[in-house]
Every structure is written in structure tokens, then in C-alpha cells.
Amino acid sequence: MDILNIATTLIVLAAFFGYLNARFLKFPDAIGLMLIAILFSAATIMAGSIFPDILEFEKELVTQIDFKEILLDGFLSIILFAGALHTDLNLLRTMRGPILMFATLGVLLSTFLVAGMMFVGFQGLGLDVPFIHCLLFGALISPTDPIAVLGILKNAGVSKALEIKIVGESLFNDGIGVVIFLTIFSIAFLGNGEISSVDIALLFFKEVGGGILLGFGLGYLAYFLMKSIDSYQVEVLITLAIVLGGYWLARYLHFSGPLAMVVAGLMIGHERFRSSGMSNITETYVDKFWELLDLSFNAILFVLIGLELTIISLDGEYLLAGLLAIPVVLLARYMALFFPIRLFKRRLGLAPQTGIMMTWGGLRGGISIALALSLTASMSRELLITVCYIVVVFSIIVQGLSVGGLARKYRKRLEAAGQPAD
């Protein structure tokens, strides 16, 4: 199956599933599309004994798609830029302290907490998984997914202050999480003796620092180019070139592409940039263009996640390990956020429910699956993919559908107590 047929099939499925969701389920797009795709895959698997050609077609479609390459090297740049473009930078700046700690210390602590608890859990289930592989799982599952978070929190009804903390953390922690994952991956692949602590520190600062600086450079370049002309068609094209070309440049320089896209998106979306660098018609077209790209690429991504069910191992022990991982990941996130929340609670007036809401609203998504699919066969790949998939499905469907109700419940409790909602 060539690339044109694959793209055509995915777009047709995304449009059809999107119609079913909008017409009947009326769930947030991320939840509805993935749920329908999972049901479609389950039905295909059950019908495989009667209509084997249908099951083979779906398996061929999924196996020929490099999910990691499509997401990390393609979709991610566009979706992160689109999300950052519409994020309030001024409000984000007021929360920069906790967001920085959530995205760095929080991800690192969660990685080790998940690894420790899952190592014990795997042993209890009779699964011999080395601790370094548990660390890999902790690293790939700890970052919250900005794609899932941005797509669901818009409709969840959480307070603006809480939304900016969760969204801001998600925009930055995936870049940090990928660096942590790649570092642990190198240790697991090369061995402890082949990589030193100095190498790890240099990799971290090069990826993170380089990505942030590149993002600033791309933002200023876009500002200079767009301010010097008045042609909304060309200016929209410039933003697209900044994203695609900038992400390619980040990969070439071994900088963090996700962080570069977030910084560039925040700069271009800032009120000062808009007022002095764009006309009203350009601003409208830029916003609408990136909203459409965001919707389209999200739709295809969550359909892909649902279709991945056909290649997931349904081994009983693996499924139990996945169910065990759900509370482990949630507990580790709550524990990792506890210290940063306590540190900034008085200074920023964080509401009492912040820890619980950020734990339940910190959704996992395609980035975790993409990282799991990048594991080698010697890294407990099949087991970790299954466990990761179960956590992601639970996160998006169960947490995503209930986070709005949880937010309303806490808001009513605060209002009854005469306290301001976070």
C-alpha cells in the first residue's frame, strides 16, 4: 500500500468517524474519534474469522504506518504550534514557576516513581522485567500529552487558571520527557559504561536550551518577515514554513523540536506580535488556518491510536500489568506534583483541589505510544506497548470524559465554602 492510499484511507476514516461522533456521540473529538476507532478495530478482530480480508487490510494499514515517525517527526510540530498559538502567554507567564517545576522535576520524579512501583508489580505478576526497562516505561508514560490535553480541556469546563497550568505543563513537559526517555534509552542500548553523567547533562542542555533558543529565533524571523509585507496568503505560508522548516532544522541540530515549536507558537500568538506584525485579515486567516490543521491532524492521530488495537498483544498477564499500571501512573503523578504545588500554593493562591485536578486532568496520548513503539525487541517491547496502550486508552476515555464533572464538583464545593475557584 503506497503513501497516497494510506493517507486517503486515514482521511476517509477520520471524516466518517468524526461524522458519527458529531451526529450521535457528541463527545470531544479526541475521545469520540478514538473510541469509535477502537470499536471499529474490535469489530474487525471479531469478524476476522469470517471476513479475514478485512482484518488483514487493517493490519496491513497499521503495520505499514510508522506511528513514531508520523507523530514525533510530523504531526507533533503542527499540533504543538497550533496549541501554543492560541495560549495566553501573559497568563502562562504568571504561572511560569509551577509550570517549570511540573515539566522538569515533576516528570523526572514521576519517571522514577512509576519505574519503582511497576518493577515490583511486574515481579508480582511473574514478569521478569529489568529495572532499566521499567525506567523506560516511566519516562514514556510520565509526560502528559499536549495533544490530548488541548483537545479535551477546551470542552471540560475547568477554570482558566487551572487550564493554563495543565496546558502549559503539557506544552513543555513532552520535550523534557522525550529528552529523559532518549537518555535512558541510550543507557539501556549502550550500557551504563558507555555514557557518562557529563554526556547526559550535555545532551539535556543541548536539547532543551537549543530548542528554546531556536524557538525564539524562529519567532523573531516570522515577525520580521510578516511585518514587512501585507499579504495574508503569503503570511499564512510563512507560518507553515516556520513550523516545518524549523522542526527540520531542530532535528538536524539535535535540538528539541517540540520546545522550539512551543516557543515560536507562543511568540507569534502573543498580542504584541499580532498587533504590530499582522493586519486584521491576516490574523483571522492565520488563526483559522491553524485551527483547521489542528482539527484535521488531531482527527487522524486519534483514529490511528484506535486502529493500533489490532497489533496490541492480548496476553492475559500483559492485560493485568496494564490494569495495574493505571493506578500506579496516577499515584506517581500525584506524588510528583505534591512538592511543587505545596511550594507555590501560598504565593499563587492555588486552590486545594489543584493536585487532584492536575493528576486527573494530566492525560496521556499519542506521544507515549509513539515512544513505546520506538523500543527495541530486547527492551520488553511487546509488554510495554500493551501496558502503555491500556493506560492511554483509560486516560483519554475515562479521565477525559470525567474531568469536566470533577471540575464542576470542586468548583461548587469551593463556592459553598466561600473560597475563590482556582
- The DSSP result for 355-414, as a single string, is HHHHHHH----HHHHHHHHTS-GGGTHHHHHHHHHHHHHHIIIIIHHHHHHHHHHHHHHH
> What pLDDT, in 10s, does the model give residues 397-418?
999 889 888 888 877 776 666 6
User: pTM of the full predicted structure?
Assistant: 0.90
The rounded distance, in Å, linking the Cα atoms of 56 and 310 is: 10
Query: Which is more confidently placed, 80 or 192?
Result: 80
- Does residue 384 lie in a domain region? yes
Output the pLDDT for position 219.
96
More confident residue, 316 or 51: 316
In a domain, 150, yes or no: yes
Q: What is the pLDDT of residue 417?
A: 60
Q: What is the pLDDT of residue 419?
A: 60
Q: Is 47 part of any domain? A: no
Task: Give the number of domains in the chain.
Answer: 1
Residue 306 lies in a domain: no
Across the range 101-111, mean pLDDT stands at 93
Provide the domain limits for residue 101.
Answer: 67-293+320-416
Whole-angstrom distance, CA of residue 223 vs CA of residue 209: 21
pLDDT band at 59, cuts 50/70/90? confident
Q: Is residue 53 scored above 60 in pLDDT? A: yes
Q: Quickly state the pLDDT bin for 421 (edges 50, 70, 90).
A: low
Residues 237-250: pLDDT tens digits? 999 999 999 999 99
- Across 30-34, 36-40, 69-73, 306-310, least confident range: 69-73
pLDDT of 164 higher than 70: yes
Residue 304, domain member (yes or no): no
| pLDDT at residue 195 in the model | 65
For residue 328, pLDDT beyond 80: yes
Residue 172 in domain: yes
Average pLDDT, the chain: 88
Q: Is residue 313 part of a domain?
A: no
**Residue of 161, 21, 73 whose CA lies nearest to 373:** 73
Q: What share of the chain is helix, strand, coil (3-state, %, to 5)?
A: 85, 0, 15
Of 69-78, 222-231, 237-246, give the lowest mean pLDDT range.
69-78
| Nearest-angstrom CA–CA distance, 337 and 329 | 12
In a domain, 10, yes or no: no
Question: pLDDT by residue (tens digit) across 202-217?
Answer: 877 888 899 999 999 9
Residues 6+ apart with CB under 8 A from 24: none
Q: Is the dihedral of CA 129, 130, 134, 139 positive or negative?
A: negative
Q: How far apart are CA 33 and CA 335, in angstroms?
A: 31
Mean pLDDT of 381-395: 96
CATH classification at residue 349: 1.20.1530.20
* Residue 112 CA to its chain's centroid (Å): 20
